[in-house]
Amino acid sequence: MNPAPQKRGWVNPAPQKWYYVYLLRSKKDNSIYLGCTRNLTKRLKEHKEGKNFSTRKMLPVETIYIEAYKSKKDAFEREKRLKYYGSALRNLKIRLKNTLQKGGAG
């Protein structure tokens, strides 16, 4: 299957050969989920459709942050730092303070 032709000036925001670290926020209780994947479009769809056990109770969720890596090792190391070392996630939350506030704008 060939991908859809790209429009002039359009860049695919999720190239398939990259790895992604992403944050989701629950619109219900403002909780955060952190994940890593190669197929970002598919993974986000699974989360939003309730097909992921870890985020099913958080629905509805919204994507609030994405980092892209060419290296699988770099992406999974970043995910690990964010999940297991509080300072990395705390620093990211400081950067996203306006996004993390209820409502997300401003």
Per-residue pLDDT of 63-105, as tens digits, reads 999 999 999 999 999 999 999 988 999 999 999 999 888 655 5
Predicted model pTM? 0.80
How many CB atoms sit inside 10 A of residue 41's CB?
13
Q: Has residue 7 got a pLDDT over 70?
A: no
Q: Which CATH superfamily is domain 19-98 in?
A: GIY-YIG endonuclease (3.40.1440.10)
Written as six digits, the tokens of 106 are: 């401003």
pLDDT bracket for residue 1 (50, 70, 90): very low
Give domain limits for the chain: 19-98
